[in-house]
Amino acid sequence: MRIKEDRTSVWFQILAHVIVIAGCILCILPFVLILSASFSSNASIIQGGYSLWPKDFSLEGYKVIFQVPDEVLRAYGVTTLVTVVGTTLGLLLMTMAGYVLQRKDFKYRNVFSFFIYFTTLFGGGLVPYYMLINNYLKFTDSYYALIWPSLMTPFLIILMRSFISSAVPDEVIESSKIDGAGDFLIYWRIVMPLAIPGLATIGLFLALHYWNDWFSSALFINSTAKYQLQFYLYNIINTSSFLSSIGAGAGIILSDGVPTETMKMSMAVVVTGPILFLYPFVQRYFVKGLTIGAVKG
Amino acid sequence: MVSRVKKTAGVALSLALTASVFTACSSNNNGNNAGASSEPAKSSAPASSSASSSASASASASASPAGLDTSKKVHLQFYMLGNAPKDLPKVEAEINKMAEADLNATVTFNFTTWTDWDQKYKLLLSTGQDVDLIFTADWTQYQQYAKKGAFLPLDDLLPKAAPKLNEFVPKDMWDAVKINGKIYTMPATYQEYVTNGFVWREDLRKKYDLPTPVDIPTFEAYMEGIKKNEPSIQPVAFGSDVKGSLNDTFLDVYRKKVGALAYGMFASYDKPAEITSYWGSPEQLEDLKRFKSWQDKGYFSKNELNEKTTNQDKLVNGTAAAMMGDNPTRYNQTNSNMKTLHPDWELGYTPFAVTTGYATPVHPIHNGFAIPASSKNAERALAFYEKMVTDKRYNQLTEYGFEGVNYTVDNGYYKMLGDANTNGFPREAMQGWAWRNPEFMLFEPSYDGVKKIFDELDKVQKPDIYTGFAEDYTEYQAERSALEQVEKQYLYPLLAGQVKDVDAGVKTFMDKAKKAGLDKIQEAYKKQWLAYLSEAGIQ
Amino acid sequence: MSRKNGFIQELVKNRILFLMLLPVLVYFFINNYLPMIGIYYAFVRFDFNTSLFKLDFVGLQNFDFLWKSGKLLELTYNTIGYNAIFIILGNVLSITVAILVSEVKSKWFKKITQSVLFLPYFVSFVILSVIVFNIFNYEHGVLNTVLKSLGADPVDVYSKPKLWILLIVVFYLWKSFGYSMVIYLASITGIGEDYYEAAKIDGANTFQRAWHITLPMLKNTFVILLLFSLGSIMKGQFDLFYQMVGNNGLLYSTTDILDTYVYRSLKVTFDMGMATAAGVYQSLFGFTLIIVVNGIIRKINKEYALF
């Protein structure tokens, strides 16, 4: 019997390795193409397309970006600030909500869950939202306009609710209550440590959301000093697609020229590079047994 | 208004919150109605109050006889499309110093960037934002916005707030920008041409002794020659917008179309009143078959509809050998870009005027600045814009940056310091097309080629009779939107030569278009066009 | 009256819990419920100088453009079809891979692969579309260059609408499965080790453990993902479709969804009434579906239901 188990698990291990490695290759290929393109000359991309290794090694894309680095560096600062503040605040509020909504003794938890969920079904559209941010909340051209729109999403709250309810057995909360702990104290001292994998996941998603956001900059920000990092990438892409769609009749010539393919790819690398390291960092909280250890400790 | 919002927020915090929870839950079958009708007064309040305040501002302006009153300090919001130059803060500071002294006003220069600019433009104008001056052009749909009341009529304000500008812009230009008899924008006075012309590789043409493209047959002969001699180069590049770059350009040179008449309507420049449907006509069939033959012969890519690289880029890098149409200025830029990469290559250019016998300079609507209806500082905005155009200090600073830092004047020519990447303010970096003043303009030496073309075109110039037309599509906008889709789905593949049976393809397209309401649109459009022609006195 | 009493009692009893929830409720009230007033735009004719509630009421006129093209059924069908495939395949794939990754013994392998599988999430569809065009381009795409060098006939991928159903699904899965995989991984992490220990003692092999322990424990997470994707079944993935297909009308019969249709139709018409109308149609559809599905889930197991 012992042998049999070993054999299936060996097969399982082989199968798992093969499938996962194949998946990894598929996932990494486009990255190699982008990276290689960012180190190619623009002419070689237009003439020969993308390749796994630069045909004509060149740093022209990066040169354009880093010749005058202050814009990109400042955008790094803005995005980092917004991501850190937004994620911290959002995570705090969402875990509290998730905790409350999974408490079985909280009578209206389904009503409130629905109240939150309902917003994913109906929305007023862009125009009223634009007016809310600009005309009523008066967030125009401020960091609030970058933090506020992504602060929380119904999906992450409900997900948090589920993570907490599966990580924290009801009995734990019950017994703490009997011990005389207040609701907030239970949340802070007991639930939070138990829900670390959930916290890591939600935090990761929220941080990615902030890091990848460019739409808030496009809509609500007027001064270049407050542009998010991603917005630089999108603006480069949009500038060239605008120029190719506008036609000769508009007679538009831009003084700083048309962004090149190399520039787009270099910018893509510059913008996504740092955040790629967030996942490996968060990963260490996805370790089995972490929850159990915490309960015992 | 602020206190009102605060109060609402307070109410929301304490009471309305719980109430609305129940509304949302108990009426979840028609939850949208519950949300929509709960507090009507709130959203209507700011819109109406800003509208009335702007109305009273203009009323008090016309009542005051003593000209411009600058006793109160104001801050203006100036909106331009595109990206802001790096040195904008310095320029803005300098402008503000001058404007504060001259007009007791300061200004913020805002730029929409090219990311979702059309969306942002629409939002700025339709939600009552603080905007005092905003760029207008035919391609930003000035005519439609003006017609729908997005801008302030300037007729009465101009003589008082900007008398110099009022004099500076010729009367016929003021007349040309009128929509429903009112001036809504301040047009640029610099006369240029954005009309099309053939662009091709002159070095290759010489090398293989091909004819110079001057019309469609010679252009076809050139493409054929390239295909034969340089099989790896695509003879002509159109890009994914085949309607603009192929069909419209073709109609422009081959059938002398009067302008970008929409919905497949056609009228020639010589007989604008004879407006007919090009779609479904024998002419269209003939043209589509011609495009198909170009495709079959491999003059352009099978996947032109998905092309991602710009035509100019393909030309510069030697993967394409011609464009059917581009304007003189952009041709010149493409040519000099190419020369820096490949000094021995050369681009040739023939304006369509050579074939058609006339060229239309840009219509005054093409570049201008308007004052949104919601602006609270209309007079000061006008006065400031007058400075931008007519005061050399303002004008050159906002067009070229600081002399000695960003550029120098060398032998009467503009010379940029550094390159476009390191220079914080390249030439016309604020996209200052609209406030160009011919008297203060500085050009790069390479621009002489363009001027030469313009001089030639001047000799055969005729007025643009199309752009002044302001279509009102309110009554058929549902059909219009549906048609847009039909066009993309059934006409674009035909244009790109991707439909094997052209006759059947046209039939399908026309069937679908008719179902979407083509007849209704064309009829209404025709009526409006004829009315416009008779009103403008065009035969 | 009695219900109100009950509410106040609850409010007093659980006041700390209410307070903890309050910021979130206020946020959604301001950020999401207030702008819903704008749904009214769907029923009026927009005008620059008139405030919302003084605009002309036009009934359902703004919805006209949806069926004027005769495509509403096809669009609805396409949209739902794609989303259904996305939901099914996406979940199957990410659950499978999540289990595989979690069961792999080698620690460093586990760590590296997890990160790598998440990578595609960072590639925007705009950039992906450029790469895809480079591969499938008829004249000098990578695919045809290879085919030609092998002596085969080149393929014009961009004129084969049916093929694009497959391609779109593949691109979607490629980009997004990493995201849901991470969610499932986190859920697997939350499963107590003691369950597995017990199973091992009972002699269950790896497959059996995955099937009998891991899968059932993921049900809760699955239901959440399902409900959220069902609610937006008429929306979504605009970038994927728009960037990949672009102006190529040849492919619209199989790749046009409501979002791309609305975008294309309204780009030329600046009418917010029509845009809102399209949104209302999508929302009503998702809403109805959700009420039904949630009802079914409630019947099966009350704990899994969302509300």
Q: What is the DSSP string of B299-344?
A: SS-TTGGG--S-HHHHHHTTSB-EES---HHHHHHHHHHHHHH-TT
Is residue C54 within 8 A of residue B44, CB to CB? The reply is: yes
Mean pLDDT of B147-166: 92
Per-residue pLDDT at B22 exceeds 70: no
| Cα–Cα distance measured from residue B235 to residue B298, given in angstroms and rounded to the nearest whole number | 8
Of A64, A114, A224, the CB nearest to B421: A64
Delineate the domains of chain A, giving CATH numbers in brackets.
61-291 (1.10.3720.10)
| Cα–Cα distance measured from residue B267 to residue B120, given in angstroms and rounded to the nearest whole number | 34
Q: Which residues contact C112 (CB under 8 A, 6 or more apart)?
A: A24
Of B9, B47, B485, the CB nearest to C264: B485
**What are the structure tokens assigned to B226, written together?**
């390239």
Mean pLDDT of C214-238: 86
Q: Do A242 and B421 touch (CB under 8 A)?
A: no
Helices (H), B76-115: 88-103
Amino acid at A105: D
For residue B160, give the nearest of B52, B55, B63 by alpha carbon: B63
Per-residue pLDDT at B134 exceeds 90: yes
Q: Do C249 and B301 touch (CB under 8 A)?
A: no
Of A106, A163, A212, the CB nearest to C14: A106
| Cα–Cα distance measured from residue B362 to residue B173, given in angstroms and rounded to the nearest whole number | 11
For residue B311, give the nearest of B260, B241, B259 by alpha carbon: B241
For residue B400, give the nearest of B383, B421, B417 by alpha carbon: B417
Helix axes A2-38, A261-272, angle to 10 degrees: 130
pLDDT at B3 (0 to 100): 40
Q: Do A42 and B126 touch (CB under 8 A)?
A: no
Per-residue pLDDT at B322 exceeds 90: yes
Q: HSE on the CB side for C276, CA within 13 Å?
A: 27
Mean pLDDT of C9-22: 87
Question: Closest approach of chain B CAs to the CA of A132, in angstroms?
Answer: 9
Q: Do A68 and B86 touch (CB under 8 A)?
A: yes
Is residue B466 within 8 A of residue B266, CB to CB? The reply is: no
Per residue in B242-254, is it b (16+ CB within 10 Å) or e — as a string?
bbbbbbbbbbbbb
For residue A292, give the nearest of B349, C191, C230 by alpha carbon: C191
Per-residue pLDDT at B43 exceeds 50: no
Is residue B448 within 8 A of residue B346, CB to CB? The reply is: no
| Cα–Cα distance measured from residue A94 to residue B444, given in angstroms and rounded to the nearest whole number | 58
Per-residue pLDDT at B209 exceeds 50: yes
Contact partners for chain C, using 3 or more CB pairs closer than 8 A, are A, B
Amino acid at C222: F
Of A93, A99, A158, the CB nearest to C306: A158
pLDDT digit string, tens, across residues B470-480: 998 888 888 88
Mean pLDDT of C175-190: 87
Backbone angles phi, psi at A14, to 5 degrees: -65, -50
Contact residues, chain B, for C54 at CB < 8 Å = 44, 48
The answer to whether A254 faces chain C, any CB pair under 8 Å, is no
| Cα–Cα distance measured from residue C205 to residue B120, given in angstroms and rounded to the nearest whole number | 59
Q: Do A118 and B241 touch (CB under 8 A)?
A: no
**Count of CB atoms situated within 10 Å of the CB of B513:** 26
Interface of C with A in 195-214 (CB under 8 A): 203, 205-207
Q: Do A239 and B127 touch (CB under 8 A)?
A: no
Question: Closest approach of chain C CAs to the CA of B260, in angstroms?
Answer: 14
Is residue B371 within 8 A of residue B152, CB to CB? The reply is: yes
The answer to whether A142 faces chain B, any CB pair under 8 Å, is no
Mean pLDDT of B400-408: 94
Which one of C72, C268, C274, C287 makes the best mutation probe of the B interface by having the most chain B beta carbons within 10 Å?
C268
Per-residue pLDDT at C54 exceeds 90: no
For residue A30, give the nearest of B259, C128, B310, B514 by alpha carbon: C128
Residue C15 exposed, middle or buried by CB count within 10 Å (0-12, 13-18, 19+)? exposed
Q: Which residues contact A295 (CB under 8 A, 6 or more apart)?
A: A172, A194
Per-residue pLDDT at C279 exceeds 80: yes
Question: Which conformational region is residue B106 in: left (phi greater than 0), alpha (psi within -120 to 50 degrees), or beta?
Answer: beta
**Count of CB atoms situated within 10 Å of the CB of B487:** 23
pLDDT at C52 (0 to 100): 66
Of B5, B85, B314, the CB nearest to A46: B314
**What are the structure tokens assigned to A275, written together?**
């955040």
The answer to whether A139 faces chain B, any CB pair under 8 Å, is no
Give the confidence band of B42 by pLDDT, cuts at 50, 70, 90.
very low
Amino acid at B296: D
Helix, strand, coil in percent for chain C, rounding step 5: 80, 0, 20
Give the confidence band of B534 by pLDDT, cuts at 50, 70, 90.
very high
CA dihedral A32→A33→A38→A42, nearest 10 degrees, is: 160
Q: Which residues contact C248 (CB under 8 A, 6 or more apart)?
A: B240, B305, B306, B492, B493, C158
**Count of CB atoms situated within 10 Å of the CB of B101:** 9
For residue C171, give the nearest of C100, C81, C241 by alpha carbon: C241
Per-residue pLDDT at B360 exceeds 90: yes
Mean pLDDT of B252-256: 93
Which one of A9, A55, A286 makes the best mutation probe of the C interface by having the most chain C beta carbons within 10 Å?
A286
**What are the structure tokens assigned to B39, written together?**
């507090």
pLDDT at C270 (0 to 100): 65
The residues of chain A scoring below 50 in pLDDT are: 1-3, 289-297
Contact residues, chain A, for B242 at CB < 8 Å = none
Whole-angstrom CA distances from B480 to B246, B485, C160, C189, C266 are 22, 9, 28, 54, 9
- Using CA coordinates, name the residue in chain C closest to A137: C30
Of B31, B127, B248, the CB nearest to A122: B31
pLDDT at B23 (0 to 100): 34
Helix axes C15-28, A109-121, angle to 10 degrees: 10
Q: Do B302 and C139 touch (CB under 8 A)?
A: yes
- How many beta-carbon pairs below 8 A join chains A and C? 265
- Using CA coordinates, name the residue in chain B closest to A223: B110
Q: Do C286 and A121 touch (CB under 8 A)?
A: yes
Q: Counting every residue, how long is chain C? A: 307
pLDDT at B28 (0 to 100): 35
Is residue B196 within 8 A of residue B325, CB to CB? The reply is: yes
pLDDT at C233 (0 to 100): 85
Mean pLDDT of B478-494: 91
Interface of C with A in 263-282 (CB under 8 A): 272, 275-276, 279
Give the confidence band of B1 by pLDDT, cuts at 50, 70, 90.
very low
Higher pLDDT, residue B43 or C202: C202
Per-residue pLDDT at B27 exceeds 70: no
Contact partners for chain A, using 3 or more CB pairs closer than 8 A, are B, C
Question: Closest approach of chain A CAs to the CA of C87, in angstroms?
Answer: 16
The answer to whether A23 faces chain C, any CB pair under 8 Å, is yes
Of A121, A124, A128, the CB nearest to C287: A121
| Cα–Cα distance measured from residue C271 to residue C48, given in angstroms and rounded to the nearest whole number | 11
Interface of C with A in 88-107 (CB under 8 A): 97, 100-105
Of C21, C272, C307, the CB nearest to A117: C307
Bridge pairing between strands B74-80 and B105-111: parallel
Our measurement of the distance from residue C138's CA atom to the centroid of its chain's CA atoms, rounded to an integer in Å, reads 31
- Which helix (H) or strand (E) segment holds residue B265: the answer is strand B265-266
Chain mean pLDDT for chain B: 86
Structural Rg of chain C based on CA atoms: 25
| Cα–Cα distance measured from residue A142 to residue A233, given in angstroms and rounded to the nearest whole number | 21
The answer to whether A129 faces chain C, any CB pair under 8 Å, is yes
pLDDT at A1 (0 to 100): 40
Interface of A with C in 173-232 (CB under 8 A): 182-184, 187, 197-198, 200-201, 204-205, 208, 212
Of C30, C217, C279, the CB nearest to A125: C279
Per-residue pLDDT at B63 exceeds 60: no
For residue C226, give the nearest of A162, A27, A209 by alpha carbon: A162
pLDDT at A288 (0 to 100): 54
The answer to whether A6 faces chain C, any CB pair under 8 Å, is no
pLDDT at B19 (0 to 100): 34
Whole-angstrom CA distances from C146 to B185, B471, C136, C153 are 57, 51, 11, 10
